[in-house]
Structure 1
């Protein structure tokens, strides 16, 4: 133990002095995360689902397609839901058949129409993240406008015992864009104490010199009220989602890089290959900081990069991750 202690201190110092994705963050290869795929069936298993976020509501995993309008059920766009008990049964082997997610109707047409009045129909780039607090829901939207990328938040509410989500068009609110990078906006957010914290996708030293988290009050009668910004630690590659906040616990984010991103991002250093990892942050209600430990790489035995776009914590067992359409739709469990 005496010999291990100085090494632990050295590792922590080296990590704090290094941006995400550097060799310092590879010191703990033994912590690399294995992946167990949870097979899906039905429309949610199609790459067209292009999932962009997840969160828990009423002991159900809610999955957000980037374009819910592609999945209509009984005339309505849809999100998807899986009971937590079904996921646990799959993982413990008592129910090994692929899971068919349930439908949640999603009233989004008026919000989409309002965004397209600003961006034009070709500018609509769908929903990128979501976070829940009780029956309240907040979604981020990405669009491309006449002068560059646009980001919006919109508030909604679960109805009919969680079977239906209605968006409030009047709550649609623009999010300040720190920089303008093609196809980049706000892909991660969490809710704490009646406020939503939206995290921009690109926060590297060369890509976003002053990264910030944009903060909004979600409890007002009139919708979402902008409260300002908090500094965010510089983090290379893309932040594509983050876990829900729980007092006393850290936040875990998905950190992804595909070599094709080189067209729009300038990581320091260039990893020369794909990066799939989890990174950890501390939040005390006033500040967000990196937790002093290396990122945890996600083992990829298949070889093809996987664009992980959603993450939730699964009790104390680990995390659930989901991809968009690359290389296919994958829902997976990663143990702690």
Structure 2
């Protein structure tokens, strides 16, 4: 990361691991996103069609099972692993998308299901990254759907290898797709693409610069705020070309990050009239491990904190992170976002 030697150190949050049993805990599951569907947390594999010997699946875990697992882990007990349940999904073979590279983000609002797909191919006469936003209709009692009724291409603002739209935010009337690379040196005019709920393009929303990678987003709260996973793998430093890190300069840097290139944190953003910007809420820095950085690709709110998931690197990890460094994680989980409440009520 950029030099932060003159920036004060701040406390970090320790991720509390949640052991996963069954196929969803395997390293090659490649989790790309997390989202809530009623009282079930959905885990999106990058390649749903490749993770089952039968029909394509995503995975779910009940809210109550997660709460029990987290509380026992914090108390130092171990009552066994959580077993994510497979949910069959209908997929109009996404490999028909030229250069298909898998699913990157998932959001559910009522019976509407939105997902982004990453691809490579020719656009505007040039070969590079391409991205698509799809909309499907969920079976409200059985399974979400990835068979899309509509699909819209998302223009890629900056052509960088393996950089696409890795996060989706759903408002009352729109869908916002967030690009992965928004640092000042590589994307001088960062912006998110906005669509109607039936995927008509509404144009770009300017947003604050954010160094490193943006890999997933929570649902909006009632104030239009959401959190994003913000990650830098040390091997990507040259490609990401970080500018001075405004988040660290404003709030301080996590204590274990001072001598490391790797960055693992959560940053809060908000949707305002015509733009997306950082809030005045301090970020949540995760305590780094001694080994390879954890590529956090999924985030969802939970109680007073967050659930996080990695993809392949360094392995499949599901963890709880408190917003408080005290590691006392859960108050009664009644603070659902507007989207979560609409899902529960079957809007």
**TM over 0.5, shorter chain:** yes
Shift of 1:177: 0.8
Q: For the residues of structure 2 that align with 1:304 and 1:142, how far apart are their CA atoms?
A: 25
Query: What is the aligned partner in structure 2 of residue 17 from structure 1?
Result: none
Query: What is the aligned partner in structure 2 of residue 56 from structure 1?
Result: 36
Asked whether the equivalents of residues 111 and 140 of structure 2 are also in contact (C-alpha less than 8 Å), the reply is no
Q: CA RMSD in A?
A: 2.2
Q: For the residues of structure 1 that align with 2:5 and 2:281, how far apart are their CA atoms?
A: 10
Report the TM-score, using the length of structure 1 for normalisation: 0.84
Shift of 1:22: 6.3
Counterpart of 2:233 (choices 252, 255, 258) is 258
Larger relative contact order (Cα-Cα within 8 Å, sequence gap ≥ 6): 2
Shift of 1:312: 0.4
Cα-to-partner distance string for 1:131-189 (whole Å, 9 max, x where unaligned): 11111110000011141000000011221613252422x51110011010000000011
Query: What is the aligned partner in structure 2 of residue 41 from structure 1?
Result: 21
Counterpart of 1:162 (choices 142, 162, 166) is 142
Secondary structure of 1:107's aligned partner: coil
Q: What are the ranges of 5 or more consecutive residues in structure 1 without an aligned counterpart? A: 1-19
Query: What is the aligned partner in structure 2 of residue 277 from structure 1?
Result: 265
Q: What are the ranges of 5 or more consecutive residues in structure 2 without an aligned counterpart? A: 246-258, 324-347
Asked whether the equivalents of residues 26 and 294 of structure 1 are also in contact (C-alpha less than 8 Å), the reply is no
Q: 1:57-206 residue pairs with structure 2 within 5 A? A: 57-72=37-52, 75-93=54-72, 96-113=79-96, 115=97, 119=98, 123-146=99-122, 147-159=127-139, 161-168=141-148, 170-206=149-185
Greater Cα offset, 184-193 or 89-98: 89-98
Asked whether the equivalents of residues 58 and 87 of structure 2 are also in contact (C-alpha less than 8 Å), the reply is yes
Shift of 1:95: 7.5
Secondary structure of 1:154's aligned partner: strand
Query: What is the aligned partner in structure 2 of residue 306 from structure 1?
Result: 294
Count of paired positions = 302
- Verify: 1:335 aligned to 2:335, yes or no: no
Q: For the residues of structure 1 that align with 2:223 and 2:3, how far apart are their CA atoms?
A: 28
Shift of 1:285: 5.2
Q: For the residues of structure 2 that align with 1:130 and 1:22, how far apart are their CA atoms?
A: 35
Counterpart of 2:313 (choices 326, 329, 333) is 326
Q: For the residues of structure 1 that align with 2:10 and 2:311, how far apart are their CA atoms?
A: 26
